[in-house]
Chain A
Amino acid sequence: MLLGQKLLLVSPIEVLKRLTTIWMEAGFWDTVAFSFTRIVLGFFLALILGILLAFISGRLRVVEVLLWPFVIVIKSVPVASFIIISLIWLSAKELSTFISFLMVFPIVYTNVLQGFKNVDKKLIEAVKVFGVSWRRSLLYVYIPQIKPFLISACSVSLGMSWKAGIAAEVIGIPQGSIGEMLYDAKVYLNTSDLFAWTVIIVLISVLFEKMFLLLLKKYFEGLVKV
């Protein structure tokens, strides 16, 4: 029987004990920084490109139609398939950035595009009649109405970028990543390390999500104050 032998399911106390020591180990912060920078980079790249392409698609129907098959493919292909295919093209180090990007991009793109389509047509007409500049239309009409869609997209995709990014690292095993730590924990049946790293991933992901959404909301509030 393996039960009670800290192998199948380690107790929460054991995990807490491991958490108190794990962060003091050499290379812990480098490992966290390695995965954090790459996953977050993928998230930001997808955010920027998703918003940009959604705006272009919102104005030019032809771009939306051209992008549609790509977005559908990214949405439906299993993440594991992407990880394995990407390993052929990319080095393991860049894998989590690319996979995080692929997870976030369709969510941001489709949400922002939906927001763009939901912008009050009567307001758009008013802006046209008054000859309001593109910059001011964006600030007063488009951003306030797209804002809830963007916040919702970020809220959903932030957690997913971490899940997929770490999964990519576990498969690609780039040296010095959180994924490598999880892989080692699995190979050496070190369940307490596995749970401790999982808790760390959840903490970083939640903290980053909360901070990012807070800053995003503050930014939008700042835009409204005129």
Chain B
Amino acid sequence: MAVNNELFKGTLQTIILNLLAEHHRMYGYEITQKVKAITQGELLLKEGALYPALHKLEAEGLLETSTEVVDNRLRKYYSLSQEGEKEVVNKLQEARDFIQNLQLLLNLKPSF
């Protein structure tokens, strides 16, 4: 069953920051494919939401960018800045607290 994408809109930045914390540097398309692979296609990250989120994080100084020529085309890579590395810890804690509260509110039991 596909997950309603509206549900994870608020956590998009956390997802991006966490993926970059785990994979050092990634490009836009790679991030969409990674989310698809991890969630086995349950979550589809729309590019129309991904790129604005990446650009916002970059403008806020949480991400750094670099460009490389790959197969004769320019590819823009995103990685965590020093500030971003600190922020990912806070964001993950925020997400954990939120999920915990959501479980309490909706009487959900963790599946693990």
Is the pairing of A and B real? no
Footprint of A on B, CB under 8 Å? none
Q: Which residues on A are within 8 Å of B, measured CB to CB? A: none
